[in-house]
Structure 1
């Protein structure tokens, strides 16, 4: 039997047919199997975002391989630059991009190209537990809940300043935070849009004007939303205190429109109602 198998392998190799090795680790090393949303983005959504976000006014001028046409283009550009006098250039004020509060801004949006298609960069979950001011043990429930729904160990957030009215001192633990990237990010996104968001009661969707100006969008969830995750729904009694939490979607988009377009492609609902 072994000799027959070796003979058949030699015949296949001599005929020029390559044997393909099938391995599940080549496509996804995650314990949850294939990443549906990641495959959907790479195969379908990225091309749709390229078409929907295309802007003819932001396309860089193409160079022609024909010398006569290229010469006409160069001549027209030179005439335009010559028409601008040095005085008019000096009188034009310098345009600076600033934001309210002196926050940093991203550079000006480059022309559309396959390398500038918006995509998810990271997802951040954070929650502040007010009861932790009096007792640090109250952070344990929020710590366990975020660790269960994200499969990632959270980090404790400490107060940066003191607030006398809240009896808060600098350096006191006040909340927990989780940052998701890569496979864990897509797994949480899939669970959020397929299980949690459809089961939220009386939630029409994100406002159509949501965004921080740079394509990043945040969603606030009430304490009851934690019970909608399958990891907590099956063992609800383990978590003595439910807390609200915020989910921030950090994208590579340059505008809020591109960021909302990306999230809507992942089935995140938007509503015109405020």
Structure 2
């Protein structure tokens, strides 16, 4: 197949960057199916040109210095001198490019998975007389997880300039990766792009760099993203050491802002949703961040003049307040808006303008009306020791906070504190069995093996702690098995539970938002082993069909905080289940039928 036919095929995988916000789910579905998608005009031409000059100057400097830290390994081109994998620093040109790319692709990536971590940030530089690469995949289809790589063209890439050849849908074919069959050249796609276009590729997709037969170089800026707390076994790790496992997709507005400096001064967590409140993140749009980066000198001069203007306006406001108090006595004084005094809003004040605070009731707690309203089922939660409303939960959190502040360095009890960022602590998976089933060795071995495959940790057996002659068990008899998982195993299980297991549950209509207990931990029940694809191999040897009781523990103090944490992680919540209406028993029912029927002799 010639290069013209390969280039025409790429149009079937193309989409305009302006359509991404409204068609993010469709683009993500096409990417999962084909393994690649081309996005046109994702980078402005002036930004691409500035980044291309930056890459060219930095490449010349690094080649003169000869420091191997700034260069990665290129498959098939070890020490050839024609192809260089340059690891880039987080300069202003790179920040502006990332702002434009991530501002448009964030919804697409989060549709695939809820959390991503930057694992690669570099530039692929190809020079004339480059012979080309053999067909390969960056990560293994058998052992590795999904890694998404974004290639951005910094200039026009024609067929003679060595574009990348990709094989759609090869990321799902295990026989190709194991060498059991040959690749189909008729399905190949040649990724020719204009300046500012990009190709999003699954790292498990088979591809190769073609020969550069022109007299010009070829520069590609690329970043790779993978799940947090995971390491790829392939070659996809072209990133400087100071940036490894520091940048997450959800916090990209922070580490691409002009205020961000040396990452060694502060560790940026790989999962901000689990360790930082979203309200504390400065939420500015990606267009504003790009303008801040391009207009830093002018902004510094404007801030200096604004400081003096605000100081004079503050003195005027204080004098006006004293005058009103002396003339009319103590009254409710509403400060005028800054625009009334000729002070323009910008920075955090402009973003705070959208937050409207109102009182829920006279003398009550102010409510942020811009936030999503909580479901009516969480307003009053029934627990074993009475009812706790949302206000009572927040009051308990405030009392604990005030008590901890009075300690002042004294002994502090072990456990979560209100000031801690909301995060998951551990996940408990239990399989309860009937006494006769638990006494069967084959069934217990089956349950233990299934829990081990689901969690990655060897489970332990559980035992009854009381006697019950009616159900037929005694103290010390086995009642099932359980397992506790923490850390990266917990994060991996929650990701699979959210993206794979729950969609496979039959007649699934979303999680129940009322299943939080008094300590804000979430409980759920899966009716069978069918949703877990890890247990499909044990289908023939299965002795009994059982359910799973899953408990997700966190350090949240209130149920709304826990619900917000799980929604940000990506758990699908549906409508609350209707409460059971219990009909009270008639205490005189046994006396109403007395005397009726056959009389005693």
The within-5 A match list for 1:112-261 is: 116-130=420-434, 131-223=436-528, 226-261=529-564
- C-alpha distance 201-137 of structure 1, shift in aligned 2 (>3 A): closer
Q: Taking structure 1 as the reference length, what is the TM-score of the superposition?
A: 0.64
Aligned match of 1:76: none
Supply the distance in 1 between the matched residues of 2:444 and 2:479 (Cα, whole angstroms).
8
- Structure 1 pair 37/162, CA: closer, same or farther in 2 (3 Å)? farther
Higher relative contact order (CA 8 A, sep 6+): 1
Q: Contact 1:124 / 1:178 at 8 angstroms: preserved in 2?
A: yes
Answer with 1 or 2: which has the greater Rg.
2
Q: Report how far residue 101 of structure 1 moved.
A: 5.1
- Alignment partners' CA distance in 2, 1:186 and 1:47: 13
Deviations 1:56-75 (CA, angstroms, capped at 9, x unpaired): xxxxxxxxxxxxxxxxxxxx
> SS in structure 1 opposite 2:445?
helix
Query: Structure 1: which 5+ residue stretches go unaligned?
Result: 1-10, 54-98
Cα separation, 2, equivalents of 1:136 and 1:101? 39
- Shift in alpha-carbon separation, 1:264–1:12, aligned structure 2, 3 A: closer
**Which stretch of structure 1 is more off in the superposition, 170-179 or 137-146?**
137-146
Per-residue deviation at 1:238? 3.0
CA 1:21/1:215 → structure 2, altered by over 3 Å: closer, same or farther?
farther
Select between 130-139 and 159-168 the one with higher mean Cα deviation: 130-139
Conservation of the 8 A alpha-carbon contact between 1:120 and 1:250: yes
Change (3 A) 1:108 1:193: same
SS of 1:271's partner is coil
SS at match of 2:69: coil
Q: What root-mean-square deviation, in Å, do the aligned CA atoms of Structure 1 and Structure 2 show?
A: 3.9
| SS of match in other structure, 2:561 | helix
Offset from partner CA, 1:78-111 (integer Å, 9 cap, x none): xxxxxxxxxxxxxxxxxxxxx7459xx9x73549
SS in structure 1 of the partner of residue 560 of structure 2: helix
Residues 47-126 of structure 1 aligned to structure 2 (within 5 Å): 49-51=277-279, 100=384, 108-109=397-398, 110=401, 116-126=420-430
Paired position in structure 2 for 1:36: 227
Q: Secondary structure at the match of 1:237?
A: coil
SS in structure 2 of the partner of residue 176 of structure 1: strand
TM-score by length of structure 2 reads 0.31
Q: Is the 8 A contact 2:463 2:478 kept in 1?
A: yes
Question: Contact (CA 8 Å) 1:127, 1:246: kept in 2 or not?
Answer: yes
Assess, with a 3 A threshold, how the Cα gap between structure 1 residues 182 and 124 changes in structure 2: closer, same or farther.
same
Provide the rounded CA distance (Å) in 1 between the counterparts of 2:477 and 2:441.
Answer: 9
CA distance in 2 between partners of 1:265 and 1:244 (Å) = 27
2:69 to 19, 24, 37: 19
Summarize deviations over 1:10-29 as a string: whole Å, max 9, x none: x979959683698xxxx8xx
Larger % of helix: which?
A: 1
Count matched residues.
211
